[in-house]
Amino acid sequence: MCGIVGIVGKEPVNQSIYDALTVLQHRGQDAAGIVTWGKDGLKSRKSNGLVRDVFQQRHMLRLSGNVGIGHIRYPTAGSAQSSEAQPFYVNSPYGICLAHNGNLTNQDELTEHLTREDRRHLNTGSDSEVLLNVFAHELQKRTDGEPTAEQIFDTVDAVHDRCSGGYAVVAMIIGHGIVAFRDPNGIRPVLFGERDTRNGKEYMVASESVALDSLGFSNAQDLKPGEAVFIGNDGSLHRREYQGKTSYSPCIFEFVYFARPDSVIDSLSVYKARLRMGEQLAGQIVREWPDHDIDVVIPIPDTSRTAAVQVAYHLGVKYREGFIKNRYIGRTFIMPGQAERTQSVRRKLNAIDLEFRNKNVLLVDDSIVRGTTSRQIIKMAREVGARKVYFASAAPPVRHPNVYGIDMPAASELIANGRTVEQIEELIGADRLIYQDLHGLIRSVRHDNSDISQFDTSCFSGVYVTEDVTEGYLRDLEKARSDAAKARTNQKWQLPELTRSSQQTSSDEALSA
C-alpha cells in the first residue's frame, strides 16, 4: 500500500506536497519522493525512510516549481533496501514522472512485451516502472507535438486495455500538466479537489481526502473506476470516464485498516464504517455468546478504537484504554519482515496493569493477519494480571492473499489460512476468539453508497475481481514475495547499500541539473 499526491498550483508546491505526504505517512514508511517542475526545470528528491527524514531543508529549497507529484511507499514487492523509491522517470516522450499505488497482476506479461515489442529498458523489478513505460509508449504512439487532453485520455484507455490489477496513478507530463487515473475496477482509491488562491485556482489529487482537507482543498471528488483527470499547467481541468468494462469494486481493507478514520473514500466515511463495524461485531458477540462475562473492552491502538467504543457501548460494559502506544514506531502490519514485526510489538505498546489486573478483558482489533501482534498483545495482557483474555476482530478471518497492492501475498503466512477459529484461538493464546462475519463487514462499509457494485474482499473470500488470478499465479506470487523471499533480497542488497545510496543521490542531482 502506498500514497500518491499531485498538485498543479499557482505558487511553489514543494511544501504542500511535503505536508500531504506526512498526512499520508500511515500508508507507507519505507520510502518517499517528490518531483517538481518549473522555470528552473525538473527537480527531484527521493530516498528510503520517513518523509521527515528524506527531505531536509536543502532538498526542499531545491524542489522549486508550481507543479509536482509525490509518493510514499512500503514494499509490496522487492525489499526495504532495494531503492525503488518513487516517482519513477522516463525521458520519452516529453519526460514523464509517475507514482503508483497498487499492484499489476500481469506484470510479467507486460515486462516481456515492453522489452521485446516496445523496445523499452526497465531498470527495476517494480510494476510501477512497468506501468510508467506502458503509459509512455502509448502516449508516444498518439502524439506528435503538443499533447492534447483527448490524446492523454486515449493513452489512459490503452493502459487500461493492457494492464490488469489494482492501481491508482498520478503522472506528470513535463511541461504540460498532471494526469491521474484509477483502474477500471476502482480497487485503489484516488480523488481530487481544488482551492482558490489570490493568483487563481489550484488542483490536487491524492490517495485520501484527509490530504486534501489538511491543505484546504475542497470539492473533493473520487475518480470513478477507469476515469482519468488531466490538469494542465495553465490550470485547465479535463475529465473523461472510461468507456470499457468497469466494476465499482473498492478494496474493503482500506476501511478496515489502511485509511485514516477522518478520510472519506468513494463517498463513504471511514470513521462511520468503523463505528458500524463495532455495532455489527457487538451484535455477533451477543448472538454467539449471550452469557459472556466480559468486564472491560480494550482496543488495540489505533485503528480499532472506533469499533471498540461501539462494542463496549452495545454490550453495556466499560471501555478503557489499556495500552499506551509509542508513536515513533511504525505500523507493524506494513513492516517488511516477520522479525521486524515481532520485535516492534513490545517497543510499540505498553500495558497499563490496573486496567487488566483480575479482569476478564475483551481486546478488540481491526483484523488478524499474520497473528504476530495478537499473540504478543495477549501475552502482555496476561503478564499484567488479566484473569481471562478474549479477542475480537472487526474483520473476518484473513485466509487468502491480496494481490492488488496489500502486503499479504503468501497464504502460508496468514494465520487463518487452512485453520479453524478454534485453532487460531489456541495459536494466539486467547480464551475466546470472535470474528466479524463478511456480510456484517460489507453492511458496515457500504451503507450509503449504492453505486458500489461490490467490494474487493479477496483476502477474506478468495474471490478476485480480475479474472487473471489463478492458483498458479498465487503460487508464483508466494515464491517471489513471501517474507523468506524478501529476506533473501534484503541480504542481497545489504552490502552495496552505501554505494546505492550515493548513486541515488547522484541520480537525483543529475535529474535536477
| First-to-last C-alpha distance (Å) of the chain | 31
Are 184 and 205 in contact by the 8 Å Cβ rule? The answer is: no
DSSP 435-470: E--HHHHHHHHHTT-TT----B-HHHH---SSTT--
Distance in angstroms (rounded) separating the CA atoms of residues 263 and 51? 20
Distance in angstroms (rounded) separating the CA atoms of residues 308 and 322? 12
Cell numbers given for 353: 496493569
The residues that are catalytic are: 2
Phi, psi for 463 (deg, rounded to 5) = -100, 120
CA-to-CA dists, residue 362 to 119, 296, 319, 415, angstroms? 58, 6, 10, 20
CB under 8 A, 24+ apart: contacts of 421-424: 421/397, 424/368, 424/371, 424/397
Sequence-ordered list of residues with C-beta below 8 angstroms from that of 86, at least 6 positions apart, any chain = 2, 31, 33, 46, 71, 73, 98, 99, 100, 126, 128
Distance in angstroms (rounded) separating the CA atoms of residues 205 and 177? 12
With 0-12 CB in 10 A as exposed, 13-18 as middle and 19+ as buried, what is 387? middle
Nearest Cα to Cα of residue 457 among 406, 423, 410:
406
CA-to-CA dists, residue 416 to 188, 368, 396, angstroms? 24, 8, 10
DSSP H helices, 368-437, are: 372-383, 421-428
